Structure 1
């Protein structure tokens, strides 16, 4: 889970920032046990695109940034997050002049001077943008170059109301709402769901390509 979020209300951002003031300290030690598919989505992205410019929205502690560098050694990578504490940890993992870290929300595109991205990655980020997930998907479309790809791995849904409620306490919405919107916005390349812990919840991987009408 990451903290970059697109919201018209400052209160949502403040709540997430407070949440990660503590969780940034334990994030890398604990999230491996339930944030599944993070390497898989990057592997699949590498099979369908060879980007020169990459944006990871909600890069958090920078866990994915070294993996992106290994898979795409020539790309310039931008990691974006709202949490100062998370980015401070990320900065220690990437000592590379081709990696840029930005602290901001993702309610609008970040590209400048027409230099769009070839790949936009959301790794357990969109399900935390409540409200604002639709704005973030729209911003990603604007940030992508024609033919560019979006890669998403995230929580999907759960049959158990107690689990959905618990995840809601942790700012995660689990209603399967992301995938139809992504499918309408981008031409699907991969759109799959996977069971976690015997079906306590499902997570999804989505890769899509930007195609102008």
Structure 2
């Protein structure tokens, strides 16, 4: 992303960040299911790309108290809310945040991590135009046994046509575009990096959950 993209995100979330979690809880389906599947190793490292308000990081930290957590976001406005939420939580010193471009970030430069055990992306790829580059960059930061977990809008192919059209039109108002080729990109990226891949969609193909797993021996 460019500096212009970061400014655009800041403009979008300057006010929305105050009500983001309240308004998104009803349609960002599958986030907790994805977090439940992270299963990081003891004392493992977990990074969220597009961490927003830190809602997901805090949920994961409660579930995996022995892991170490990190988050990055291109929007400094969202990070303001994230830092405040973490400061009020039981994990004020256990979650580290940074402002960064998801297409070119370095876990080493940002957090001093040579590699990461688990990385997850929750409903962020559908808002990032060069999203394929984000998937590729993220996989490059994984440990050999590391995993990338993704949840985002699915194809909605099994929804009634009018409902699907209405939902996609509504998402467009928020600069959200479901990635209809997410499965193929995930599988191709995994292949290029010599890793396993899994993909499935939930009810009505509304939400997609993907995983790029450990390197193949």
Q: 1:63 to 1:28 in 2, by over 3 A?
A: same
Note closer, same or farther for the CA distance 1:36–1:143 as it changes in structure 2 (3 Å cut). same
Q: Secondary structure at the match of 2:102?
A: coil
The residue number in structure 1 matching 2:137 is 139
CA 54–175 in structure 1, closer or farther in 2 if over 3 Å, else same: closer
**Pairing 1:188-207 to 2, within 5 Å after superposition:** 188=196, 190-195=198-203, 199=204, 202-207=206-211
Aligned to 1:182: 186
Q: Distance in 1 between matches of 2:28 and 2:167?
A: 15
How far the C-alpha of 1:190 sits from its partner, in A, is 3.8
Moved more, 152-161 or 140-149: 152-161
1:64 counterpart SS class: helix
Deviation (angstroms), 1:189: 5.4
Alignment of 1:147-186 (within 5 A): 147-158=145-156, 159=161, 160-186=164-190
Structure 1, unpaired ranges of 5+: 1-6
Residue number in structure 2 paired with 1:211: 215
- Kindly indicate whether residue 25 of structure 2 is the aligned counterpart of residue 32 of structure 1: yes
- The equivalent of 1:50 in structure 2 is 41
Output the CA distance in 2 between the equivalents of 1:10 and 1:175. Answer: 23
- The structure whose RCO (Cα within 8 Å, separation 6+) is larger is 1
Cα gap change, 1:140 to 1:114, in 2 (>3 Å) = same
Contact 2:107 2:116 in 1 (8 A): yes
Q: RMSD across aligned C-alpha pairs, in angstroms?
A: 2.1
Residues 56, 120 of structure 1: 8 Å contact kept? yes
Alpha carbons 2:152, 2:178 under 8 Å: kept: no
Cα shift at 1:120:
0.5
Alignment match, 2:71: 79
TM-score by length of 1: 0.84
Aligned partner of 1:101 in structure 2 is 97
Q: How many residues align?
A: 199
